[in-house]
Amino acid sequence: GNSVTQMEGPVTLSEEAFLTINCTYTATGYPSLFWYVQYPGEGLQLLLKATKADDKGSNKGFEATYRKETTSFHLEKGSVQVSDSAVYFCALSSKTSYDKVIFGPGTSLSVIP
């Protein structure tokens, strides 16, 4: 079945450091890929998405490129801020998963001043 794997962390970075959170997926067909972010005490928010191969999703300085050849959708940000401290979830949806969204385990990020 479809699945999402991501580094679980926790990841601790200094402010202005470069961030990469790896995400790989297993799916048949052509899934849509997402990154969601969950700030402490809140629900999930959609951060960015990509719907086809080589698409790049971007938002708030975060980027991720849909790589079908490596089945990956790694999240990157050039310079993190303390306010980026949160849990990040990689997710996919596809017709073969009956349109359900399948989430990875989440990666906790702490950014220290």
Partner 1 sequence: KAGVTQTPRYLIKTRGQQVTLSCSPISGHRSVSWYQQTPGQGLQFLFEYFSETQRNKGNFPGRFSGRQFSNSRSEMNVSTLELGDSALYLCASSLTGTERAYEQYFGPGTRLTVT
Q: Min. distance of Cβ 89 from partner 1 in angstroms?
A: 7
CB within 8 A of 58, min separation 6: which ones? 48, 64
Q: Rule CB under 8 A: is residue 98 a binding residue for partner 1?
A: yes
Q: Which of residues 31-90 bind partner 1 (CB under 8 A)?
A: 32, 34, 36, 41-46, 49, 51, 89
Q: Going by C-beta distance under 8 Å and a sequence separation of 6 or more, which residues neighbour residue 108?
A: 8, 9, 10, 11, 86, 87
Residue numbers at the binding site for partner 1 (CB under 8 A) = 32, 34, 36, 41-46, 49, 51, 89, 93, 95, 98-106
